[in-house]
A and B are shown apart, each in its own frame.
Chain A
């Protein structure tokens, strides 16, 4: 898992509640990413970070925000969860000494919004 942990691994929540998912890495990689995985869609980029406090939007960023106050942690927040955000969320990193397109994924968080 390239030194990546995600927490929680499973979460069930109700519509309208805030949810924060955490990605933690142990190897000080600069680039970190959040993806969601849905049947028939592969993986789609939500947000990415290229350093502490440096983040940008991906292709499906509506309804999500991110924060990166430390190199090792990248947080994904759903301010007010909706049923359409039921998905499996993956964090990924790019090793600093490689091109940013080589990415390694964490184990994932399965989120269910009722």
Chain B
């Protein structure tokens, strides 16, 4: 089955710096890759996603890149701010019996220091 590995598990940056989180997936049939941000005590919030027919997608300070050949995708946050501090999860979607199953990475705890 699909397996998603996420690195690093923790990341500490200074405010204004960039942060990059990387994920690899195992099943080449995966075709949808969302990223979620989870703040303490809250549910995961979808922040950006990319489908397999696109190599890069941007939304203000965040961007996601996808390399289908290498089976990895990354989240890039530029000009980080303290409110970006949270746990970030990547996921890969795989079709299974008419339903698209999401497999999640273990998460990255990002700390942005003022």
Q: A-side interface residues toward B, CB under 8 Å?
A: 1, 4, 31, 40-45, 48, 50, 56, 58, 90, 99-108
Contact = CB atoms under 8 A, between A and B. Distances in A.
Given A42-B106, A105-B44, A100 B100 contact: yes
B46 A102 contact: yes
B26 interface: no
Chief secondary structure at chain B's binding surface: strand
26 contacts: A1-B43, A4-B43, A40-B106, A42-B89, A42-B91, A43-B44, A43-B89, A43-B102, A43-B104, A44-B104, A48-B99, A50-B99, A58-B101, A90-B43, A99-B100, A101-B32, A101-B93, A101-B100, A101-B101, A101-B102, A102-B32, A103-B34, A103-B46, A105-B43, A107-B43, A108-B43
Nearest to A9: B41
